[in-house]
Structure 1
Amino acid sequence: MKKIDIGIDEKDREKIAAGLKHLLADSYTLYLQTHNFHWNVTGPLFRELHLMFEEQYTELADAVDDIAERIRTLGVAAPGTYQAFAQLSSIEEVVEIPAAEDMVKILTKGHERVIKTCRDVLKSAQKGEDESTIALVSDRMRVHEKTAWMLRATSSK
């Protein structure tokens, strides 16, 4: 790749990109989990949760593209395999199909985890004075905070 001269030190770019890889992995894992729950939710809240989960995984599908493209903009290869995502993600995979109420709890926890990953990336981006990553990550954090709130509001417990 040609030399990148965008006003961010190479070491800072690499550190920011490393954090973004974790954010990408967390976001993609949460996308898969949400899509799985969309397909498999049952019970009295089926329609409401089915539609809510669809909105959420659709939003996440766009987000992973933005995050991966930011990694590439910083001059680093974006991970794109299940194996890489499994190694990088801090979100636990759910093997079984949980009850609808548990799906809501699991997704809430997942969004809260992504928020924490965002906060970690934000620190690196601020240190490297990377305004573009700061804006992207701040926007992602806001979406996940709102989604977690909405999921918590859906839960009866």
Structure 2
Amino acid sequence: MKSKKIDISKIDIGISEKDRIAIAKGLSKLLADSFTLYLMTHNFHWNVTGPMFNTLHTMFMDQYTEQWNALDTIAERIRSLGVVAPGSYEEYEKLTTIPAVKGKPKALEMVALLVAAQEATARTARDLLPLVAEANDQPTTDLITQRLDIHEKTAWMLRSLLEE
């Protein structure tokens, strides 16, 4: 009895190629926003000064560490869908919705910029949910739900620092 040769180039996970590519494109935008947010947060960790230095320095470290770990999860989901994950500054710059930070903001400006970046990343994730639901892609739904929870909670915590 001859064994049937398996075509490893064909992906048959129950999601059409068209949907896999569309979802991967959306996840690539989320990866770009997540990387940009990571880089911004790490930059602020290094460069924060003032009376809130210790609090913000430590908080930013916790946040960029969490964000760094999320990058791998997002990129690996893109790969699981059979698409190459973006991985260069040039690609991220084209895909991100987060504007570059100019100069060295003061501590509370850093916090406000991070609130906006956390919210932008949440919006990017949320925009992908209808397509993911339509494609019945539960692993991506789970990933997005987890990211939304973290970005919304982090935005709230940062926003709380800006209240009088």
- TM-score, L = length of structure 2: 0.94
Q: Which residue of 1 aligns with 2:30?
A: 23
Task: State the alpha-carbon separation in 2 of the partners of residues 12 and 101 from structure 1.
Answer: 41
CA deviation map 1:5-30 (0-9, x unaligned): 10101111110000000000000000
Match of 2:72 among 56, 65, 68: 65
The gaps in structure 2 that reach 5 residues or longer are 1-7
Task: State the alpha-carbon separation in 2 of the partners of residues 124 and 50 from structure 1.
Answer: 38
Match of 1:8 among 7, 11, 15: 15
**1:1-157 correspondence runs (5 A):** 2-157=9-164
**Per the alignment, in what secondary structure is the counterpart of residue 97 of structure 1?**
coil
What residue identity is the alignment partner of 2:111?
Answer: V
What residue identity is the alignment partner of 2:67?
Answer: L
Structure whose CA Rg is larger: 2
CA deviation map 1:5-60 (0-9, x unaligned): 10101111110000000000000000000000000000000000000000000000
Task: State the alpha-carbon separation in 2 of the partners of residues 155 and 47 from structure 1.
Answer: 16
Once the two structures are TM-superposed, the CA of residue 156 in structure 1 deviates from its matched residue by: 3.5
Identity %: 54
C-alpha RMSD over aligned residues? 0.9
Once the two structures are TM-superposed, the CA of residue 64 in structure 1 deviates from its matched residue by: 0.6
Once the two structures are TM-superposed, the CA of residue 95 in structure 1 deviates from its matched residue by: 2.4
**Per the alignment, in what secondary structure is the counterpart of residue 82 of structure 2?**
coil
Task: State the alpha-carbon separation in 2 of the partners of residues 42 and 59 from structure 1.
Answer: 22
Task: State the alpha-carbon separation in 2 of the partners of residues 115 and 68 from structure 1.
Answer: 17
Once the two structures are TM-superposed, the CA of residue 4 in structure 1 deviates from its matched residue by: 0.5
Task: State the alpha-carbon separation in 2 of the partners of residues 123 and 55 from structure 1.
Answer: 31
